[in-house]
Chains A and B, each alone.
Chain A
Amino acid sequence: ETGVTQTPRHLVMGMTNKKSLKCEQHLGHNAMYWYKQSAKKPLELMFVYNFKEQTENNSVPSRFSPECPNSSHLFLHLHTLQPEDSALYLCASSQSRGSGALNEQFFGPGTRLTVL
C-alpha cells in the first residue's frame, strides 16, 4: 500500500449504531487530520494530531471520537450519529515542521458515510 488509505470506502449506519473509520498513512508523516466534506460546503477540519497528540478539535460534537495510537494510524469512532452527519470523511497526513511551514497534506480517498 502507498500513500494514505481509508477503510471502509462506504458505510451506511443507523443512528444507534457504533462504527469506526480507519486511516493509515504509509508516508512516514507525523501529523494526521480528519476532515468532513458535505455537499455544497467547504472542507471542514475536524481534528489534528501531531506526533500522536491531539492539537486541534474544531468544536466537533462528542459523538465523533478520534483516536491516534501511533503516527501511522488514525481512527474516527462514531456513535449515535444524526442524518446531518452524512458526508465524505477525508483523512490526510503531512510532515509537520512545527511552525506550520511546508504543510503540504496528502489525502486518502475518503469514506462515504450515510446515516439513516
Chain B
Amino acid sequence: AQSVTQPDIHITVSEGASLELRCNYSYGATPYLFWYVQSPGQGLQLLLKYFSGDTLVQGIKGFEAEFKRSQSSFNLRKPSVHWSDAAEYFCAVGALEGGKLIFGQGTELSVKP
C-alpha cells in the first residue's frame, strides 16, 4: 500500500540553525513527491515537488529536498531557519490512481529566538 511517514511530530530549532525534516514513503513505482507548508489557520502551500530528473530539488523560501530512491526518502532541508518558518510541514506522494495525494501526518516546526 502507498504510504508516507514523517517520523517527527514536532521539531524545535533555533533561528539561524539548519533544518532537516524527514519523510519516508512506500510506493510501487517512480513517485511524485511534494512538500507543503501550512501556517496556522491557513491552507497548504506547495514548497517544492519532485517528478523526475535531478534528485536535489529547489523550492520557495530557501527550501530544498533530496530524493533518495535507495532509502525511500524525500527529506526537506533549509540551511538557516527564520522565525517565519514556524509552521506545519506535510510530505505527500502522488497516488497511482486518480490524481490523489497521500499525505504524511505532518511535522510541526517551532523556531526559538
Do A90 and B43 contact each other (CB < 8 Å), given the known contacts A43-B103, A48-B99? yes
- Tell me the residues in window 41-74 of chain A with beta carbons closer than 8 Å to chain B beta carbons: 41-43, 45, 48, 50, 55-56
12 contacts between A and B (CB under 8 A): A41-B105, A90-B43, A92-B44, A94-B99, A96-B99, A99-B97, A100-B99, A101-B32, A101-B51, A102-B51, A107-B43, A107-B44
* A103 part of interface (Cβ distance < 8 Å): yes
Partner pick for A108 among B43, B94, B98, B101, CB 8 A cutoff? B43
Contacts of A107 in B (CB 8 A): 36, 43-45
* B11 part of interface (Cβ distance < 8 Å): no
Partner pick for A110 among B32, B36, B42, B94, CB 8 A cutoff? B42
Number of interface residues of A (CB under 8 A): 29
- Tell me the residues in window 8-44 of chain A with beta carbons closer than 8 Å to chain B beta carbons: 31, 41-43
Which chain B residues have a beta carbon within 8 Å of chain A's beta carbons?
32, 34, 36, 41-46, 49, 51, 90, 94-101, 103-106
Which chain A residues have a beta carbon within 8 Å of chain B's beta carbons?
4, 6, 31, 41-43, 45, 48, 50, 55-56, 90, 92, 94, 96-97, 99-110, 112
A-B contact number at CB 8 A: 65
A98 to B44, CA, bound (A): 23
Q: Residue on B with the closest CB to A3? A: B43
Contacts of A96 in B (CB 8 A): 99
A4 to B32, CA, bound (A): 22
A112 to B94, CA, bound (A): 26
A30 to B45, CA, bound (A): 19
